[in-house]
Structure 1
């Protein structure tokens, strides 16, 4: 992969594992500087430790609770002060809050603080730096924003709201800042494996899920990273204000055979 001459400064939230880790590694392989954060302390984040060892001069890690606005503000401020610029913000951190529509108020609040408000506030704090660099914001939503399953509220509701956040950031902050959403479906991460493991037969649950994808498999985290790399490039300069679904064709199916 060809590296660009001037490394960009890229913020990746939720970078300690799964999709966030893959996104961070993709930009690092491309030659960029990545400042990652996640809730976990570094001592509890072995993947982040490995990235620090592999890219000691271009990867930096912070423990940040993105539900706490003061921590977000400090994280973004320190990143800009250290490097003098921010070129790309990949707002990825989030978590499944599958409690159902009758969830407790505490579950509702926790979900919206993490899966909606944090994305808005990260963008708000990074805006001055991104305006200077004419940068890019990438917001990770989910295919649950378009169609969902029983028991997945309030998660799916916040993910749907992110579609509107992407639109508003685009029309109010453009043309200096370009914003795009990404909506992955089933990606082969520890989080999705935990969902399979919650079934009586995890192997069977995985096989049934794979059969529901026209491409015949579920996604790989590095594929999300490659999409982020493209969307952050000048080649994607006319893509803005929209959310791209990458779900292996899952959402194209009107009805599953075993549901008929």
Structure 2
């Protein structure tokens, strides 16, 4: 299936993890894919950018449109996580998290909209189940991801009339390189994987490619009547109640 033949897609944070799986899926379905992140990308055309720099989004969009001639799909995937109790978190750290995880996607959308109107394009924000619930010490991350979900809804409401759709996905535990390294560093990796599998009705954790499949659907024309939604990709984790 070549749902993105002739289309230009931009994936922020597309060099690794979920972002790389999304970039590969879009490319495999015909898109010319650009990624944007702080370092080089040996696999895709890329723009180097620090998303803590509020001037970066405008430059990224301009660069991609100059090279590609258009923009059809924007995937806001880049983000960071800081762990700290609220009383221990500095204002600078809080603002840094919100800048990268929420303000940068807002600016990416702001500068992409004139081009997405022309192509009747699609935006997908990669949020998190922590935008719905929260793990300990993740105040800034949870708040920023909840905001990213809300941003998707707002864009859908305001720009549906322009032919632009915007949705969000909320992944749970996904076996990215970072998470796999975390498991390996635990005292008993096999036990950890068994235990974390038990909290998922699916009986396992997720794969980046499973998130990418949903993102591709939401970015494609076949989902043309789907906008303003937040889809969890969590193996049922948020649905399962704890034991009484």
TM over 0.5: yes
TM-score, structure 1 as length reference: 0.88
Match of 1:212 among 199, 206, 210: 199
Q: Deviations over 1:204-255 (max 9, x none)?
A: 2222111111101111001111111111112111111111011000011121
Name the SS of the counterpart of 2:80 in structure 1.
Answer: coil
Q: Structure 1 residue 189 and structure 2 residue 201: aligned? A: no
Paired residue for 2:100?
A: 114
Paired residue for 2:165?
A: 178
Residue 101 of structure 1, CA deviation: 2.2
**Hey, what's the Cα distance between the residues in 2 that align with 1:30 and 1:236?**
15
**Hey, what's the Cα distance between the residues in 2 that align with 1:195 and 1:110?**
23
Residue 70 of structure 1, CA deviation: 1.5
**Hey, what's the Cα distance between the residues in 1 that align with 2:74 and 2:232?**
19
Off by >3 Å, runs of 4+ in structure 1: 194-203
Paired residue for 2:69?
A: 84
Alpha carbon RMSD of aligned pairs, Å?
1.6
Cα pair 2:3 2:220 within 8 Å, conserved: no
Match of 1:93 among 60, 75, 78: 78
Q: Report the CA distance shift for 1:5/1:254 in structure 2 as closer, same or farther (over 3 A).
A: closer
Cα pair 1:170 1:240 within 8 Å, conserved: yes
Matches within 5 A, 1:125-136: 125-136=111-122
Cα pair 2:125 2:149 within 8 Å, conserved: no
**Hey, what's the Cα distance between the residues in 2 that align with 1:163 and 1:238?**
18
Paired residue for 1:45?
A: none
**Hey, what's the Cα distance between the residues in 2 that align with 1:149 and 1:183?**
14
Q: Structure 1 residue 247 and structure 2 residue 239: aligned? A: no
Cα pair 2:12 2:36 within 8 Å, conserved: yes
Give the aligned length: 242
Cα pair 1:65 1:72 within 8 Å, conserved: no
Paired residue for 2:52?
A: 67
Match of 1:201 among 184, 188, 194: 188
Paired residue for 1:228?
A: 215
Paired residue for 1:26?
A: 25
Q: Report the CA distance shift for 1:181/1:4 in structure 2 as closer, same or farther (over 3 A).
A: closer
**Hey, what's the Cα distance between the residues in 1 that align with 2:143 and 2:49?**
24
Name the SS of the counterpart of 2:238 in structure 1.
Answer: helix
Residue 168 of structure 1, CA deviation: 0.9
TM-score, structure 2 as length reference: 0.94
Structure 1, gaps ≥5 residues long = 43-47, 52-58
**Hey, what's the Cα distance between the residues in 1 that align with 2:114 and 2:45?**
21
**Hey, what's the Cα distance between the residues in 2 that align with 1:206 and 1:95?**
23
Structure 2, gaps ≥5 residues long = none
Residue 71 of structure 1, CA deviation: 1.8
Residue 5 of structure 1, CA deviation: 7.7
Name the SS of the counterpart of 2:103 in structure 1.
Answer: helix
**Hey, what's the Cα distance between the residues in 1 that align with 2:4 and 2:160?**
26
**Hey, what's the Cα distance between the residues in 2 that align with 1:111 and 1:201?**
31
